Amino acid sequence: MTFALHGLAVSHGIAIGRAHLISHATLEVEHYLLPERHVGEELARFDQAVAGVRTELDALMAHADPGAPAELTAFIDLYRMLLTDPLLTEATRALIRQQRCNAEWALVQQMEQIVAQFEQIEDEYLRERKADVVQVVERVLKMLMGRPGHPPAHAQGEHLIVVAHDLSPADAIQFKQWKIGGFVTDLGGATSHTAIVARSLAIPAVVGLHHARHLIYEDDMLIVDGARGVLIVDPDADVLEEYRRRKRALEAARAKLKRLKKAPAVTLDGVDIALAANIELPGDVAQVQAVNASGIGLFRTEFLFLNRDGMPGEEEQYAAYRGVVEAMAGNIVVIRTLDIGADKSPRGVDIARTGPNPALGQRAIRYCLAEPRLFLTQLRAILRASAHGPVRLLVPMLAHAHEIAQTLAMIEQAKAQLRERGQPFNAALEIGGMIEIPAAALALGVFLEKLDFLSIGTNDLIQYTLAIDRADETVAHLYDPLHPAVLRLIAHTIQAGARAGVPVAVCGEMAGDPQFTRLLLGMGLRIFSMHPAQIPEVKREVLRSNRAGLRRKVARLLALDDPVALRRRLARLNAAAD
Ligand code: PEP
Ligand code: MG
pLDDT digits (tens, 9 = 90+) for 372-423: 999 999 999 999 999 999 999 999 999 999 999 999 999 999 999 999 999 9
* 219: confidence class by pLDDT, cuts 50, 70, 90: confident
Question: If you take atom 9 of ligand 1, which residue's CA is the nearest one?
Answer: 300
Atom of ligand 1 nearest to the CA of 457: 3
pLDDT of 69 reads 61
- Residue 33: exposure state from Cβ atoms within 10 A (0-12, 13-18, ≥19): exposed
Atom nearest to 302 CA in ligand 1? 9
CB neighbours of 352 closer than 8 A, spacing ≥ 6?
128, 131
Q: Which ligand is nearest to the CA of 298?
A: 1
What separation in Å is there between the alpha carbon of 65 and the centre of ligand 2? Answer: 29
* Rounded Cα distance, 542 and 560, in Å: 24
What's the chain's average pLDDT?
Answer: 90
CB atoms within 10 A of CB 89: 18
Q: How far is ligand 2, taken at its centre, from the CA of residue 405, in Å?
A: 20
d(CA 98, CA 502): 69
Output the CA 193–ligand 1 centroid distance in Å: 8
Beta strands in 479-520 (DSSP E): 504-506
Which is catalytic among the residues 12, 24, 101, 507? 507
C-alpha span between 467 and 486 (Å, rounded): 12
Which residue among 193, 368, 388, 531 is the active-site one?
A: 193
Residue 560 alpha carbon to ligand 2 centre in Å: 27
pLDDT tier at 172, thresholds 50, 70, 90: confident
Q: How many helices (H) and strands (E) does the chain have?
A: 23, 16
Please report which ligand is nearest the Cα atom of 190. 1
Q: Where are the alpha helices (DSSP H) in 146-236?
A: 169-173, 193-201, 212-215
Q: Which of 170, 174, 172, 196 is nearest to 183 (CA)?
A: 172
Q: Which atom of ligand 1 is nearest to the CA of 191?
A: 8
pLDDT band at 148 (very low <50, low <70, confident <90, very high): very low
Q: How far is the CA of 507 from the centre of ligand 1 (A)?
A: 7
Q: Residue 12: its pLDDT value, please?
A: 79
Residue 202 banded pLDDT, cuts 50, 70, 90: confident
Distance CA 105, CA 45 (A): 13
Mean pLDDT of 24-47: 79
- Give residues whose Cβ lies within 5 Å of ion ligand 2: 436, 457, 460
Closest ligand to the CA of 192: 1
CA of 180 to the centre of ligand 1 (A): 25
Q: How far is the CA of 79 from the centre of ligand 2 (A)?
A: 32
**Ligand in closest contact with the CA of 507:** 1
Tens-place pLDDT, residues 37-50: 889 999 999 999 99
Could you read off the pLDDT of 100-147 as tens digits, one per residue? 988 988 998 898 888 888 878 877 777 767 777 887 888 888 788 764
Mean pLDDT over 294-306 rounds to: 95
CB-based contact 509:199 (threshold 8 Å): yes
Name which residue sits closest to atom 1 of ligand 1, judged by CA. 457
Binned at pLDDT 50, 70 and 90, residue 64 comes out as low
pLDDT at 153 over 70: no
Average pLDDT over residues 506-517: 97
- 193 is an active site residue: yes
Name the residue with the closest Cα to ligand 1, atom 3.
Answer: 457
If one counts every other C-beta atom within 10 angstroms of the C-beta of residue 444, the result is 20
The ligand 1 site (C-beta within 6 Å) comprises 196, 298, 300, 339, 436, 457-460, 507-508
- Best of 10, 460, 464 to mutate for ligand 1, by most ligand atoms within 8 A of CB? 460
Q: Measuring from atom 8 of ligand 1, which residue has the nearest CA?
A: 459
Taking CA atoms, 114 is separated from 37, 53, 101, 150, 351, in Å, by 29, 19, 19, 29, 17
> Is residue 275 within 8 Å of residue 294, measured between CB atoms?
yes
Name the pTM for this structure.
0.79
Collapsing DSSP states into helix, strand and coil, what is residue 26?
Answer: coil
- Average of pLDDT values for 311-329? 96
What domains sit in the chain, N to C, each tagged with a CATH number?
Answer: 3-23+151-255 (3.50.30.10), 26-144 (1.10.274.10), 261-547 (3.20.20.60)
3-class DSSP assignment, residue 531: coil
Ligand 1, atom nearest to 507 Cα:
5
- pLDDT of residue 227 exceeding 80: yes
Closest atom of ligand 1 to CA, residue 455: 5
For 475-501, how does the pLDDT look when each residue is reduced to its tens digit (9 = 90+)? 999 999 999 999 999 999 999 999 999
